[in-house]
Chains A and B, each alone.
Chain A
Amino acid sequence: MKRISLLLTIFTLFVGCKNETKSTSASEVQELNVYTHRHYDSDKQLFEMFEKQSGIKVNVINSKADELIQKMVLEGEQSPADVLITVDAGRLHMAKEKGLLQPVSDKKIIDSIIPSNLIDKDYNWVALTKRARVLVYAKDRVDPTSLTTYENLVLPEWEGKLLFRSSSNIYNQSLMASIVANDGEETAKKWAVGMVENQARKPKGNDRDQIKAVAAGEGDIAVVNTYYIGKMLNSNDRTELEAADRVAVFFPNQNDRGTHINVSGIGVAKHAPNIEAANQFVNFLLSEEAQEVFALSNYEYPVNSNVEKSEVLKSWGDFKEDALHLNKLGELNKKAVILFDEAGWK
């Protein structure tokens, strides 16, 4: 036993040291350190594509955005982070507020690819992909003509029929922030109270669970992100397929401001040791070939409008997006959480 443990210790130290020497001798080889909240297989594919194309080695730290931001704050000027990728605009806004980001260098290229409401006003971050927060309803029990807006979900006819997840969820917070921005604080709070009054059960589970609950009849309407439905429709689990089959997608607010979208996005770190590589990486992720990977493998909407959507997304048709500037979502995120708590949305 002792011998085994000795061997193992040596082995681990060796692994540790090997990596150490690798990273020190690698100073001639260009590197890029990515702090990311996204952990999809499609992202790994993209990192590999970038490595092949540019010869720059990509190092990845995967964690929650808030933890990554805290890490960057503590690391300060010596932070090895080159870019920060998050799954919502709010966190990028927060990173910017804390002075952790710097403007991207190729503003013109980016302007030509993406609509301006998806780019930070000071170019500190840009969106990579979009997801729409839509309504999913039971085909057999809900007449889609009775659905209109997020705001109308609080009508008495939906009492005991709504399913949504916890207010800790960032997508719900972004939706709430968009309602605060569009309708004002008072109305937004009343809306949240109304939603809670109409809930079919206490908020729990993830987006997929809400869809399953609609399919099973626990409620009639759920508020979810589009790409989870896409994933369920292509799931290898029979129950998920059946559930996804029993529901349909509705894009709310088509006659006024449009359906709420949230994004995942990227920013270049303020103290990035490899600024050039970082900007090259940003441009790469916005390029058509990279955007195609995002669109096809993860059922997200590409921000590059030259890129086609996946078949599933096409089948739902085009829809009007809420053109609210994403900066607003970031600014109002905290307000949204406070209103949620006051309204009793768990």
Chain B
Amino acid sequence: MKQVGSNKESFSLKNRLQRGIRDLNKWTVFTVLILLFIAVPVITIFFKLFDGPGESWEHITNYLLIDYLKNSLYLSFLCTLITLFSGVFSAWIVTRFEFPLRTYLEWLLIIPLAIPGYIMAYAYAGFFDYGGIFSWLLSPLGIENLKLDMMNVVGLSFVLGISLFPYVYVSARAFFLTQALNLLEASRLLGVSETKSFFKLVFPLARPAIVAGLVLVLMEVLNDYGAAEYYGVNTFTTGIFRSWFSLEEPETAIYLSALLLSIVFVLIILEKYQRRKMQYTTPKSGKTSIDHRIKLSYPKQIVLCVLVSLPVILGFVIPVIQLVQWAVRTFNEVFNKDLLWLSLQSFGIAFVAACFTVLFALLLLYFSKWNKIYSVQSASKLGVLGYAIPGAVVAIGVMVPTLSLDKSFIEWGWASKFIINGTLIALVYAYVVRFLAVAYQPLESSSLKVNSSIPDSSKILGMGNFKTFFKIEFPLLKAGMLSAFILVFIDILKELPLTLILKPYHINTLAVNAYGYASDEMVMHASIPSLFIILTALIPVIVLNKLLLKNG
């Protein structure tokens, strides 16, 4: 909020408080309520910072922490490079140019996300292992029994990067699809080359969208456990689980998670602070979507096609080939009709939970926008932190408050047994807490594009916040909402630790089924449920992608 008056006035605490009270409106109250609802588990964990770590803290700082931090930083850096490169360029080429197979590649680029990270890690290790498909491909060349070692930091960065770049792709593409083409036309008329206008104009403009995707990638990278453990790379999350599982101190694990939370929170606030200096809105007139793509000469089209296929081949085709090879071998043992029922259950749960997640993200985003107190707006960022901590820790964060509620219900005689825990309520709630960020980031970046003058004029003309939202902002947000939904859906479909701990007895998901095999080193047997996850994820991706293009 812009402040009027002298510096002295605007910075004294008393004035700040007074302004706070003056600016307080019902949206502030709603924002705080929603935030509390979503952030209770995160806050629960956050407050553990004050409890301090357990007694093995010194041991951890002496022997482990530096190594873990170093690995995490290196991993984050490499993943940033990989995801930016594959995500942004493929999004740009797909929206800007016409080439063969473009319509298929457009949605195939989202699919790598559907392969759980640890399955991708197993698939790649298997692909390049002794006697794997890679060495079989090379055997005609006279190279026998070759192994490309994937199990190190670089390999891990590659595996995570190639499975997570769709976050960047999706949000960058949603931006490119709806972003002002006339700016680009103008730059072309002025004789600026396509490459130059990309780097000078489009890339800086797309920054919020790209950063939004990148934040998701980094949070996911930071909390990955399965892939890192298998590849023997010790990251910060390894530290969390080592203090929990091996050093038998859940309190130290939670303390480390809280530490991780604070770091991510500071990063998000910093990014937002920097972005505040810039205005990102669409121009008031002119075409906003790209309806004609540039057609280059045929050989160049082929080059583009190959370029864009590359992330699809690495992130989808190769792992799927490996999974299919394993699936054929284990078909008789693993395949049965139950898998179809499992797929249906997984689909249903993911669908409902994704709906709730997108809804809460929207509520949080707009309530905090309509509220006039800046600090509450910043605080609303707390809601997205659930994504930065490992699912198993979120599960604890969810269980602490909900169990105390459950126990009170029993005490008050309202219930005879737990009604939140052990039912779908706790599970869906946990999904919302964990994946809010995944919905929030694309929504926020697409809401930034809505020129604030339109809703502002609507409000000046006497329309309420809600009416303005449904009449003006909602239609403009559709692309962002669909992207958000796809991402959350896929994420829930493959989610594991939360589901394991909080799921009701009678519910089972494909991810749980796959994990059962993988955790017992029966990686091959996990391939069939993994392929089912991918198939189930394909349905909404294809359907929603069509909708996205229609609305674009």
Which residues of A are at the interface with B, using a C-beta cutoff of 8 A?
1, 5, 8-9, 11-13, 15-16, 19-20, 22-23, 33, 39-40, 59-64, 66-68, 70-71, 74-76, 78, 80, 94, 165-168, 173, 202-209, 212, 215-216, 228, 231, 235-239, 242-243, 333-334, 337-338, 341-342, 346
Q: Which residues of B contact A238 (CB under 8 A)?
A: 131
What B residues does A70 contact at CB under 8 A? 244, 250, 396
Interface contact B348-A66, CB-CB below 8 Å: no
In the bound complex, residues from chain B placing their C-beta under 8 Å from that of A206 are 230, 521
Interchain CB contact under 8 A, A66 and B245: yes
Choose from B231, B407, B417, B504 the contact partner of A19 (Cβ within 8 Å). B504
Q: Is B20 an interface residue (CB 8 A)?
A: no
Which 10 residue pairs across A and B have the least CB separation, nearest first?
A204-B232, A239-B131, A39-B516, A59-B505, A12-B348, A19-B506, A63-B500, A341-B63, A16-B424, A337-B246
The distance in angstroms between the C-alpha atoms of A346 and B64, with both chains bound, is: 9
Minimum distance in angstroms from A124 CB to a CB of chain B? 17
Interface SS, B side: helix
Can you name 28 A-B residue pairings with CB atoms under 8 Å? A9-B351, A9-B355, A15-B345, A15-B507, A16-B424, A39-B516, A61-B500, A61-B505, A64-B245, A70-B244, A80-B418, A94-B248, A165-B232, A166-B229, A204-B151, A204-B231, A204-B232, A205-B125, A208-B521, A235-B524, A239-B132, A242-B131, A243-B130, A333-B246, A334-B246, A341-B63, A341-B64, A346-B232
In contact, A22 and B151 (Cβ under 8 angstroms):
no
Shortest A63–chain B CB gap in Å is: 4
Residue of B nearest to A218 (CB): B147
Q: Are B242 and A8 in contact (CB under 8 A)?
A: no
Contact A67 B395 (CB under 8 A): yes
**B245 contacts A168, CB within 8 Å?**
yes
B439 close to A (CB within 8 Å): no
| Given A74-B396, A205-B125, A334 contacting B248 (CB threshold 8 A) | yes
Question: Which listed residue, B147, B241, B399, B543, touches A168 by the CB 8 Å rule?
Answer: B241
The answer to whether A1 touches B547 (Cβ under 8 A) is yes
- Our pick among A168, A333, A338 for the contact of B56 (Cβ within 8 Å) is A338
> Chain B's nearest CB lies how many Å from the CB of A77?
9
Q: Is the CB of B423 within 8 A of A20?
A: yes
Which chain A residues lie closer than 8 Å to B422 at the CB level?
80
Point out the residues of chain A lying under 8 angstroms from B63, CB to CB: 341-342
Across the interface, which residues of B come within 8 angstroms of A16, CB to CB?
A: 423-424, 504, 507
Contact A11 B348 (CB under 8 A): yes
**What mask results when residues 244 to 279 of chain B are scored 1 for a CB within 8 Å of chain A, else 0?**
111110100000000000000000000000000000
Known: A1-B547, A212-B130, A216-B147. A40 touches B418 (CB 8 A): no
Chain B positions 504 through 546: 1 when the CB is less than 8 Å from some CB of chain A, otherwise 0: 1111000010011101111010000000000000000001000
Q: Which residues of A contact B326 (CB under 8 A)?
A: 237
Collect the chain A residues with CB atoms within 8 Å of residue B417's CB: 78, 80
CA distance A346 to B515 in the complex (A): 24
State how many angstroms separate the Cβ of B173 from the closest Cβ of chain A. Answer: 20
Total interface residues on B, CB under 8 Å, equals 72
In the assembled complex, the CB of B505 is this many whole angstroms from the nearest CB of chain A, namely 4
Q: Is B289 interfacial (CB-CB < 8 Å)?
A: no
Contact yes or no, A337 B352, CB < 8 A: no
How far is it, in angstroms, between the C-alpha of A215 and the C-alpha of B522 when the chains are bound? 19
Most buried by A among B125, B145, B229, B406: B229
Is the CB–CB distance between A75 and B403 below 8 Å?
yes
- A71–B395 Cα distance when bound, in Å, is 9
How far apart are the CA atoms of A64 and B395 in the complex, in Å?
A: 13
Partner of A62, one of B392, B423, B500: B500
CB distance from A134 to the nearest CB of B (A): 16
Expressed in whole angstroms, the minimum distance between the Cβ of B43 and any Cβ of chain A is 17
Query: In the assembled complex, how far is the CB of residue A153 from the closest CB belonging to chain B, in whole angstroms?
Result: 20
B501 an interface residue at 8 Å Cβ cutoff? yes
Does B53 count as interface, using CB distance less than 8 angstroms? Answer: no
Task: Say yes or no for B330: interface residue by CB 8 A criterion.
Answer: yes
Assess the A60–B241 pair: CB atoms within 8 A.
no
Question: B234 at interface (Cβ–Cβ under 8 A)?
Answer: yes
Q: How far is the CB of A211 from chain B (nearest CB, A)?
A: 10
By beta carbon, the residue of chain B nearest A1 is B547
Find the A residue at minimum CB distance from B410: A78
B483 within 8 Å of A (CB atoms)? no
User: Within 8 Å CB of B125, what residues of A?
Assistant: 205, 209
> Quick one: which of B4-44 are within 8 Å of A by CB?
none
For B406-446 the 0/1 string (1 means CB < 8 A from A) is: 11001000000110011110000000000000000000000
Q: Does B349 contact A (CB under 8 A)?
A: yes
